[in-house]
Amino acid sequence: MAADVDPFAYAAIKLNAIANSAILGATTSDLIDSDAVISLDCGSNTFFAARHLRLRGGQRLTSPGMLATMAPGLPFAIAAKFAYPARQSVAVVGDGGFAMLMAELTTAVQHNLPVKIVVLKNNSLSEVRFEQQELGNPPYGCDLGPIDFVGFAEACGADGFHCATPAEVRPAITAALRSPKAALVEAVVDPDEPPAKPEEVRV
């Protein structure tokens, strides 16, 4: 898909085909607590979260912004749970950033911190890939080897859930949020879903 495809038209086309950022963002917003602390990573997931998460007044959001600091989503969520043990702590991350520090899930398990992680899995550093395309370059070094994040979570002692279609999104996120333990949702998304730059976002 070309880098200049309208991301909103794309979301409508793909709505019934595969889990995408609009569905994940809206569903996560609907299900998380009114005072939840949400932690983001850096990458396409940051664009998607900014576009589709609907924050409420009692919630808090932490993010590296667009400083290209990959991997802090899970550590942010762990820190939030230590700081606010009574509040729900939810990380929304991409698979590229999460893979860099995913061993920290064992820290959450060790300290009995029921953090929740939604991993947007597209086996790609998609923001970098779209940036390369915008510069007229072919994608280089952006493909990621597929990881079984559900199996990884379970190996760490956490719960793991999987979704890949719109119908599977709400049950997977609901199950993760209801788990008394640290829990991860592996949400398979389309690597061709384009992030939108701020000037392209329509209100």
Distance separating alpha carbons of residues 102 and 79, to the nearest angstrom: 15
For tokens 């953090």, name the residue: 115
Distance separating alpha carbons of residues 112 and 38, to the nearest angstrom: 19
Q: Give domain status of residue 147, yes or no.
A: yes
> What is the count of structural domains for the chain?
1
CB contact at 8 A, 186 and 161? yes
Q: Give domain status of residue 155, yes or no.
A: yes
Q: Give domain status of residue 1, yes or no.
A: no
Q: Give domain status of residue 177, yes or no.
A: yes
CB contact at 8 A, 41 and 94? yes
Distance separating alpha carbons of residues 25 and 83, to the nearest angstrom: 25
CATH number at residue 194: 3.40.50.970
Residues in the chain: 203
- Among 66, 163, 62, 165, which residue's Cα sits nearest to residue 115? 62
Q: Give domain status of residue 2, yes or no.
A: no
Q: Give domain status of residue 48, yes or no.
A: yes
Residue-level pLDDT, tens digit, the chain, 203 residues = 334 444 444 444 344 445 678 889 999 999 999 999 999 998 888 878 888 899 999 999 998 876 778 899 999 999 999 999 999 999 999 999 999 999 999 999 999 999 999 999 988 877 667 776 778 888 777 778 899 999 999 999 999 999 999 999 999 999 999 999 999 999 998 877 777 666 665 55
What is the extent of the structural domain holding 151? 7-200
Which whole-number Å values give the CA distances from 39 to 4, 53, 73, 118, 141, in the listed order?
Answer: 28, 12, 5, 10, 26
Distance separating alpha carbons of residues 193 and 185, to the nearest angstrom: 19
